[in-house]
Copies of this chain bind each other. A is one copy, B any other.
Amino acid sequence: MDRYRISEGAHLDLRSMDTRDTSAYPSLSKKKAVPVLAQMRRELADLQRVMWADGNHALLVVLQAMDTGGKDGTIRKVLSGVNPQGVDVTGFGVPTEEEMKHDYLWRIHRHAPAKGRIAVFNRSHYEDVLIVRVNNLVPRVRWSNRYDHIRGFERLLTDEGTTIVKIMLHISLDEQKERLEARLADPSKNYKFNPNDLDARAQWDEYMTAYEDAITETSTSYAPWFVVPADRKWYRNLVVTQTLIDTLKGLNLSYPVSDHDLSDVTVN
């Protein structure tokens, strides 16, 4: 999945990227992807099981996207199948009153994964250089310093045993229109429609610029960003699942050896 990894210091131009790309699985289609994803999920579940038993590594998956970009759907499709005992999903919405009294990484840090576990952030500290920037919630001098904080924070986590994968699900403006209209048209999906989403949609260009800067500034060797084409949900699911599989495989996980001398033990 290296094709979607953003190299440190690379120039990123989101608007020139093909959000309908399927080049990693050119022979697959929505239908043909079903058994492939099922197989990948089994592989991911097996890897997570070893990771949990091994207990020496933590995995943090950061998911960011524009509204309707597929964060919830990705979590459901990619991670259903993994033992929920080893996975913690945290959604970061508007900060609470208490959270606002702290620095913006305070509420994030407490949800960092313990060893043996996977943490998934549905939105994250990146909102503090995205929505916060686009809506001028703090002055430029404050949000522009945050890239540095974030690099430092993610360096801390990785130095202390956490592997970080950051994923932007990249959809087009047209695809978002279709998805929003689908939510309006289907009464059973109405509840997902939030009129505020239209405000962010009207700021699409500002958001793309904010994403480009954030990803460029914080895609590092130790905490890389992946920009995943996400107009086609089946493709997005395969790419995200395979990215997590590759990441866990890279950890060389194994079932641990017992701490105890069991040679003389009998069960009565």
Contacts and interface: CB of A to CB of B under 8 A. Distances in A.
A4 to B, nearest CB: 23
Interface string A229-268: 0000000000000000000000000011111101001011
A83 B88 contact: no
Interface residues of A, number: 42
Given A193-B258, A258-B191, A258-B193, A267 B84 contact: no
Contacts of A180: 267
Contacts of A198: 265, 267-268
What is the oligomeric copy number?
Answer: 2
Contacts of A91: 85
A264 to B, nearest CB: 10
A89 B84 contact: yes
A65 interface: no
Nearest to A53: B191
Contacts of A188: 255
A76 B85 contact: yes
Nearest to A198: B267
A124 B30 CA distance: 43
Contacts of A53: 191
A213 to B, nearest CB: 26
A45 interface: yes
Per CB-CB distance, the 6 closest pairs between chain A and chain B, nearest first, are: A190-B258, A85-B89, A76-B83, A84-B87, A191-B256, A180-B267
